[in-house]
Amino acid sequence: MIDAKRRTLLKGSLGVSAIGVAVSAGLLTPGTVLANWPKAAFAATETDAALNELLGSNATENSDQIKLEAPDIAENGAQLPVVVDTDLEGVQSISIIASANNSPLIASFDLGTNAVPFVSTRIKMAESADIIAVVKTDSGLFSKTKSVKVTIGGCGG
Protein backbone atom coordinates (compact mmCIF):
# COMPACT_ATOMS: atom_id res chain seq x y z
CA MET A 1 0.00 0.00 0.00
CA ILE A 2 2.85 2.37 0.81
CA ASP A 3 4.45 1.50 -2.52
CA ALA A 4 1.26 2.62 -4.39
CA LYS A 5 1.28 5.99 -2.62
CA ARG A 6 4.96 6.43 -3.42
CA ARG A 7 4.33 5.70 -7.12
CA THR A 8 1.44 8.20 -7.21
CA LEU A 9 3.65 10.84 -5.61
CA LEU A 10 6.46 10.18 -8.10
CA LYS A 11 4.09 10.30 -11.09
CA GLY A 12 2.60 13.56 -9.86
CA SER A 13 6.04 15.06 -9.28
CA LEU A 14 7.17 14.09 -12.78
CA GLY A 15 4.01 15.58 -14.31
CA VAL A 16 4.43 18.87 -12.46
CA SER A 17 8.11 18.96 -13.39
CA ALA A 18 7.30 18.42 -17.07
CA ILE A 19 4.75 21.24 -17.02
CA GLY A 20 7.27 23.49 -15.26
CA VAL A 21 9.89 22.79 -17.93
CA ALA A 22 7.36 23.48 -20.71
CA VAL A 23 6.32 26.79 -19.13
CA SER A 24 9.91 27.91 -18.56
CA ALA A 25 10.81 26.96 -22.14
CA GLY A 26 7.92 29.07 -23.44
CA LEU A 27 5.99 26.14 -24.87
CA LEU A 28 2.98 26.79 -22.61
CA THR A 29 2.09 30.44 -22.12
CA PRO A 30 -1.08 32.21 -21.02
CA GLY A 31 -0.73 34.40 -24.11
CA THR A 32 -1.39 31.38 -26.30
CA VAL A 33 -4.58 30.59 -24.45
CA LEU A 34 -5.77 34.22 -24.55
CA ALA A 35 -4.76 34.87 -28.16
CA ASN A 36 -8.30 35.83 -29.24
CA TRP A 37 -8.88 38.22 -26.33
CA PRO A 38 -10.04 41.59 -27.80
CA LYS A 39 -7.86 43.65 -25.47
CA ALA A 40 -8.18 46.92 -27.44
CA ALA A 41 -11.98 46.70 -27.41
CA PHE A 42 -12.15 46.30 -23.63
CA ALA A 43 -9.52 49.04 -23.14
CA ALA A 44 -11.38 51.56 -25.33
CA THR A 45 -12.79 54.57 -23.50
CA GLU A 46 -15.57 55.38 -26.01
CA THR A 47 -18.47 53.22 -27.15
CA ASP A 48 -17.83 53.68 -30.89
CA ALA A 49 -14.15 52.79 -30.53
CA ALA A 50 -15.00 49.67 -28.51
CA LEU A 51 -17.52 48.50 -31.13
CA ASN A 52 -15.08 49.18 -33.99
CA GLU A 53 -12.37 47.15 -32.26
CA LEU A 54 -14.69 44.30 -31.28
CA LEU A 55 -17.05 43.99 -34.24
CA GLY A 56 -15.35 45.96 -37.02
CA SER A 57 -18.12 48.58 -37.16
CA ASN A 58 -20.09 50.87 -34.89
CA ALA A 59 -23.08 51.18 -37.24
CA THR A 60 -25.97 49.45 -35.50
CA GLU A 61 -29.64 49.35 -36.36
CA ASN A 62 -32.20 49.62 -33.56
CA SER A 63 -34.28 46.42 -33.33
CA ASP A 64 -37.48 45.57 -31.49
CA GLN A 65 -36.54 41.88 -31.78
CA ILE A 66 -33.98 42.38 -28.99
CA LYS A 67 -35.27 42.24 -25.44
CA LEU A 68 -33.07 44.08 -22.92
CA GLU A 69 -34.09 43.72 -19.30
CA ALA A 70 -32.53 45.82 -16.54
CA PRO A 71 -34.02 47.79 -13.64
CA ASP A 72 -35.11 51.37 -14.34
CA ILE A 73 -33.55 52.46 -11.05
CA ALA A 74 -30.62 50.60 -9.50
CA GLU A 75 -29.92 51.23 -5.83
CA ASN A 76 -26.44 49.80 -6.24
CA GLY A 77 -24.48 50.02 -9.48
CA ALA A 78 -22.09 47.30 -8.33
CA GLN A 79 -24.54 44.46 -9.04
CA LEU A 80 -26.93 45.37 -11.81
CA PRO A 81 -28.77 42.39 -13.35
CA VAL A 82 -28.99 42.48 -17.15
CA VAL A 83 -30.76 40.01 -19.45
CA VAL A 84 -30.50 40.07 -23.25
CA ASP A 85 -32.71 37.85 -25.39
CA THR A 86 -33.45 38.03 -29.11
CA ASP A 87 -35.56 36.45 -31.83
CA LEU A 88 -33.09 37.45 -34.57
CA GLU A 89 -31.77 34.68 -36.82
CA GLY A 90 -28.08 33.82 -37.24
CA VAL A 91 -26.84 35.41 -34.01
CA GLN A 92 -23.06 35.26 -33.72
CA SER A 93 -22.46 37.35 -30.60
CA ILE A 94 -24.13 39.46 -27.93
CA SER A 95 -22.26 42.41 -26.37
CA ILE A 96 -23.25 44.61 -23.44
CA ILE A 97 -22.16 48.24 -23.13
CA ALA A 98 -22.56 50.76 -20.29
CA SER A 99 -22.07 54.07 -22.07
CA ALA A 100 -20.88 56.16 -19.07
CA ASN A 101 -18.30 53.70 -17.72
CA ASN A 102 -14.60 54.48 -18.18
CA SER A 103 -14.40 51.25 -20.20
CA PRO A 104 -17.87 51.03 -21.78
CA LEU A 105 -17.59 47.48 -23.15
CA ILE A 106 -18.78 45.31 -20.25
CA ALA A 107 -19.05 41.87 -21.85
CA SER A 108 -19.11 40.10 -25.19
CA PHE A 109 -20.42 36.57 -25.66
CA ASP A 110 -19.58 34.62 -28.83
CA LEU A 111 -22.32 32.11 -29.59
CA GLY A 112 -22.17 28.86 -31.52
CA THR A 113 -24.49 28.13 -34.43
CA ASN A 114 -26.94 26.09 -32.34
CA ALA A 115 -26.79 28.29 -29.23
CA VAL A 116 -29.89 30.00 -27.89
CA PRO A 117 -29.34 33.79 -28.20
CA PHE A 118 -29.87 34.54 -24.50
CA VAL A 119 -27.50 36.10 -21.96
CA SER A 120 -28.04 36.82 -18.27
CA THR A 121 -25.33 38.49 -16.17
CA ARG A 122 -24.62 41.16 -13.58
CA ILE A 123 -22.66 44.27 -14.47
CA LYS A 124 -21.13 47.32 -12.77
CA MET A 125 -22.15 50.84 -13.66
CA ALA A 126 -20.33 53.92 -12.44
CA GLU A 127 -23.28 56.28 -12.85
CA SER A 128 -26.67 56.68 -14.47
CA ALA A 129 -26.39 55.94 -18.19
CA ASP A 130 -27.63 53.90 -21.11
CA ILE A 131 -27.09 50.17 -21.31
CA ILE A 132 -26.74 49.04 -24.91
CA ALA A 133 -27.13 45.45 -26.09
CA VAL A 134 -25.46 44.86 -29.46
CA VAL A 135 -26.32 41.68 -31.34
CA LYS A 136 -24.14 40.62 -34.27
CA THR A 137 -25.93 38.49 -36.85
CA ASP A 138 -25.25 37.22 -40.34
CA SER A 139 -27.08 40.30 -41.70
CA GLY A 140 -25.44 43.01 -39.56
CA LEU A 141 -25.36 44.68 -36.15
CA PHE A 142 -28.53 45.37 -34.20
CA SER A 143 -28.98 47.13 -30.89
CA LYS A 144 -31.40 47.92 -28.09
CA THR A 145 -30.87 50.69 -25.53
CA LYS A 146 -32.25 51.18 -22.03
CA SER A 147 -31.61 54.05 -19.62
CA VAL A 148 -30.78 53.06 -16.05
CA LYS A 149 -30.58 55.46 -13.11
CA VAL A 150 -27.92 54.44 -10.57
CA THR A 151 -28.26 55.88 -7.06
CA ILE A 152 -25.01 54.42 -5.63
CA GLY A 153 -22.17 53.95 -8.14
CA GLY A 154 -20.51 50.57 -8.37
CA CYS A 155 -17.18 51.67 -9.86
CA GLY A 156 -15.75 53.72 -7.02
CA GLY A 157 -18.76 56.04 -6.52
- If asked whether residues 27 and 56 sit together in one domain, one would say no
Per-residue pLDDT at 130? 94
- If asked whether residues 15 and 72 sit together in one domain, one would say no
Per-residue pLDDT at 25? 65
SS3 150: strand
| Dist. CA 144–CA 11, nearest whole Å | 54
The HSE-up count of residue 100 (CA atoms within 13 Å, CB side) is: 18
Per-residue pLDDT at 113? 86
Per-residue pLDDT at 22? 65
Per-residue pLDDT at 81? 93
Sequence-distant (≥ 6) Cβ neighbours of residue 154 within 8 angstroms: 76, 77, 78, 79, 80, 124, 125, 126
Per-residue pLDDT at 83? 96
- If asked whether residues 15 and 48 sit together in one domain, one would say no
Given a cut of 70, the residues of the chain with pLDDT beneath it are: 1-3, 15-16, 18-20, 22-36, 153-157
Q: Which domain holds residue 121?
A: 36-150
Q: Which of 60, 65, 57, 72 is nearest to 125 (CA)?
A: 72
- If asked whether residues 66 and 27 sit together in one domain, one would say no
